[in-house]
A and B are shown apart, each in its own frame.
Chain A
Amino acid sequence: MEERRIQKKHKTGSVLYIILCFLFLYLPILVTMIFSFNSSKSLTRFQGFSLTWYERLFTDNEIMGAVYVSISIALLATVISTILGTITAIGLSKSRKIIKEIIINVNNIPIMNPDIVTAIGLMILFSSLKIEKGYLTMLLAHVCFCTPYVITSVYPKVRNLDPALANAAMDLGATPFQALTKVILPMIKEGIFAGVLLAFTMSFDDFVVSYFITGNGVKNISIVVYNMTRRTNPTINALSTIVIVVIMITLVVVNIVPVLTKKRSKKNLELEKEGIFISKNERLKKYTGIISGIILIVVIVLTSYAGNKETLKIFNAGEYIDPDLITEFEKEYNCRIIYETFDSNESMYTKIMSGETYDIIVPSDYMIERLIKENRLAEIDWSRLSNRDNLNKNIMGMNFDSENKYSVPYFYGTVGILYDKTVVKEDDLKDGWNLLKNTRYKNNIYMYDSERDAFMIALKALGYSMNTDKKEEIDAAYNWLIEQRVTMNPVDVGDDVIDNMIAGNKALAVVYSGDAAYIMAENQNLEFFNPDEGTNEWFDCMVIMNSSEKMILAHKFIDFMLDVEHATANSSFVGYTSPVEGAYQNMLETDYKGISSYTPVMGNKNNEIFRYQTAETKGYFADLWTKIKAH
């Protein structure tokens, strides 16, 4: 009696612990599911039930494209790696010891290596072989890391087989192929099934490898989610919820069906006893039916993917275009736009250096200067741009391309400090950039995660030129940044600064004037200022790469973006200042009425534009930046 009570007490403790653990594991999943039904954009406050995000999901081309890529790659990679893995495992058991050991050890490499190492290895391989990155490279990479899992789950089953079985079948007149399909495969099907499941999930969930080896706008779900985390987008919650539900149903089915089939096979046995014989052939037919069905789907999916419309490849910063404009352009000119995004000029440049080509890219001033010097850009034929007169003449002819031979303005602005009027004292603003070192605001600062902007702030705060190549000045700026890091504990952010500042999470943030406009329109407590010590005047422009073979279409796209109506839509969506005069005026009267930062303050004589750096200076900065980040 006593013992029983103890055991019962024991059991409540156990149940409690298990519940706590499951709560911990399922909390993020539950939150995702709940907020997918939220009527507002917030990820933290539930404001009522709605299905808006589900509707948006099915009309969002980017997400639906990613779903398609994830599923088709996972299916293809699973089929290929299962076949490859299974025949290898069968052959392996009969091979000489040395071959067996080589294969088993090589096979362990992708399993035991960190994803990131596998990923960069493949990335280097594909770039050195000049294989164009995209769907095919992603598929090859997925087969690369899926096959080892199939082999490890099938091989033990093969090893446990009685070798006499295949021999017996062949003695009885079966060909080796028949012995394989009729004797060996049915006996190892559990291992194969486990392999299929593993391969499919590994492929479907992969982020790291896909992220490094993708190109040409081919994105799977993980990559889209990664790009989206920078700005809240609850459609992704809707997608997660669907994925979660589908997976749960599948797993439950997979776990319950074997129980049912067991029951059925018992029934069959009884039927057989009664003299009713169910032909084995029928079962075989069913399997081949399923397999050929899968292959058929895959083929259909593949062919539908390869369209024959003219394509235009565009490379732009993340969250830097109104996506509706892309769809509209595609419709108007009956073409397909392959749209890829980068998170900094440097990562854009690295991608181009690794062999990627695009028709149109949208880099900033200093990067344009560099691309011109390296002969990578084609001249703009201004006569083809019917909307050229819409451009604001004051922001043309800047030093990086003084005659606008290669570049057409896209957005422009400055960098400054966004501050919370309710927290920051007006008096402290006199400190200029050194406000970012005022310990009153310790732990209360977002810095922009960009090498050149961070150094610009430090150099300007110290009274130097932001284009300096003097080591002493750069070192002083480095020390300024390190000191700021130690005393202020700032957080480096990218586009996530937008959501964070709208939510009012911190008092100070270094932002681009355009982001400031977008944020201030959503949060009235904020104000923006450009320190007197000067700042970075920047110009992002559309340029055409000289490798492009789509000159006419590329010019059409640029012209399309200069149209007042389109530029207005774009500026409204992104929040940045439009170089198209009409769009700028429209915005001043509508979305950004009364918002100071929409009109960049350009007059300060201390302001500069970033210049192209020599390789030596660039390397020096890059090294120090890595050190700052690692500090």
Chain B
Amino acid sequence: MKHYTKLVRPYLIWSLLIIVIPLLMIVIYSVTTGGNTLVNIQFTLDSFKKFAEPVYLQVFLKSLQMGLITVGFCFFIGYFLAYTICKFSEHAQNYMILLVTIPMWINTLLRTYAWIGILSDNGILNTILEKLGFSSISFMYTDFAVTLGMVSDFLPFMVIPIYTSLSKIDDSLIEAAHDLGANNIQTFFKVTFKLSIPGVVSGIITTFLLSVSTFVIPKLLGGGQYMLIGNLIESQFISVGNWNFGSAISVILAVVILVAITIMRKIDPEKTEDE
């Protein structure tokens, strides 16, 4: 029986080196000053104090807001899509889910890049609008463009787990609810939706995680002046060179996401039973 326990050791060491230590280093950088080397560092909370300035808090709130809006759209569009797919025959379902998965396999950057061609001032969408007799609209570099890009990129991450939960529901439960006198709406909220919560929770966690931390989509579709928390971190590491401040923001981002995940997990009945 004990023959295989040693197999864990390589990963134990590996994960310590390449997962735990980097995280500790981010934390160390966030509470020190002294530039990009660990020589002559000094302990300070300046980076966190700096983040408390209104401009940065605004960036933070804006990221949360964009994250929540994206999650909201993904949830409504995605839940309804998963629910609708479940109505079809098993054979058709498999093909439709395959179609939902394919975009996930294709590079996010490539897909976002394509949106630029669609949304730009002389882009495809505006060409169509003009042909239909409308005046053209500036879509690019707006909240709309960024939200659209994020929803289109992250939607599959919402649909798949919800579909998995929904497809597991035993039809006889729904029939039973109907037999017991529940109408369609009651059955949906009291039976179907409740049973799909694990999928919903997992979908919301993933889309929130992705949309709060992305810096590529806002940069490409929002322009250089569009700043979310991911862009703030990127600029501190790539152009400004203030690794301490960048690390502090990363710590805050990681903590916020951890808190969000914990809250979402509480809602999920299956997971709590599991632990």
Cβ proximity bits A495-516 to B, threshold 8 Å, 1 near / 0 not = 0000010011110000000000
For the complex, what is the distance from the CA of A349 to the CA of B240, rounded to whole Å? 9
State which of A32, A84, A94, A180 has its C-beta within 8 Å of the C-beta of B2: A94
Chain A positions within 8 Å of B84 at CB level: 14, 17-18
| A114/B253 contact (C-beta < 8 A), A122-B18, A180-B4, A226-B216 known | yes
| A125/B5 contact (C-beta < 8 A), A144-B18, A225-B107, A631-B55 known | no
Interface stretch among B19-27, B161-169, B174-182? Answer: B19-27
For the complex, what is the distance from the CA of A115 to the CA of B257, rounded to whole Å? 12
Q: Is the CB of A229 within 8 A of B113?
A: yes
Q: Is the CB of B118 within 8 A of A120?
A: no
For the complex, what is the distance from the CA of A506 to the CA of B242, rounded to whole Å? 34
Say if the beta carbon of B114 comes within 8 Å of chain A.
Answer: yes
Say if the beta carbon of A22 comes within 8 Å of chain B.
Answer: yes
For the complex, what is the distance from the CA of A599 to the CA of B107, rounded to whole Å? 42
Count class of interface residues, chain A: 35 or more
Q: Is the CB of A630 within 8 A of B59?
A: yes
Q: Is the CB of A29 within 8 A of B114?
A: yes
Chain B positions within 8 Å of A106 at CB level: 15-16, 19-20
| A236/B215 contact (C-beta < 8 A), A18-B84, A90-B4, A127-B36 known | no
Chain A positions within 8 Å of B127 at CB level: 44-45
Main secondary structure of the interface of A (DSSP, over half): helix
Which B residue sits closest to A226, measured CB to CB? B109
Q: Is the CB of B237 within 8 A of A205?
A: no
Q: How far is the CB of A627 from chain B (nearest CB, A)?
A: 5
State which of A110, A114, A255 has its C-beta within 8 Å of the C-beta of B257: A114
Which A residue sits closest to B23, measured CB to CB? A121
Which A residue sits closest to B233, measured CB to CB? A116
Say if the beta carbon of A212 comes within 8 Å of chain B.
Answer: yes
Q: Is the CB of A240 within 8 A of B19?
A: no
For the complex, what is the distance from the CA of A121 to the CA of B241, rounded to whole Å? 15
Say if the beta carbon of B52 comes within 8 Å of chain A.
Answer: no
- B-facing residues in A455-493 (Cβ within 8 Å): 485, 490-493
For the complex, what is the distance from the CA of A138 to the CA of B38, rounded to whole Å? 23
State which of A26, A125, A166 has its C-beta within 8 Å of the C-beta of B22: A125
Chain B positions within 8 Å of A541 at CB level: none
Chain A positions within 8 Å of B16 at CB level: 106
Which B residue sits closest to A167, measured CB to CB? B1
State which of B138, B213, B241, B257 has its C-beta within 8 Å of the C-beta of A349: B241
| A247/B102 contact (C-beta < 8 A), A24-B152, A116-B234 known | yes
Chain A positions within 8 Å of B80 at CB level: 17
On A, residues with C-beta under 8 Å from B are 10-11, 14, 17-18, 21-22, 24-29, 31-32, 35, 43-45, 84-85, 87-88, 90-96, 99, 102-103, 106-107, 109-110, 112-118, 120-125, 127-128, 140, 144, 147, 151, 163, 166-167, 170, 176, 179-180, 201, 205, 207-208, 212, 221-222, 225-226, 229, 236, 240, 243-244, 247-248, 251-252, 255, 343-344, 346-347, 349-350, 353-354, 443, 447, 449, 451, 485, 490-494, 500, 503-506, 622, 625-627, 629-631
Instruction: Provide 14 A-B residue pairs closer than 8 Å at the C-beta atoms, listed in order of the A residue.
Output: A11-B87, A25-B100, A31-B124, A43-B120, A94-B5, A112-B261, A121-B25, A125-B25, A221-B107, A251-B101, A255-B94, A503-B120, A505-B122, A626-B235
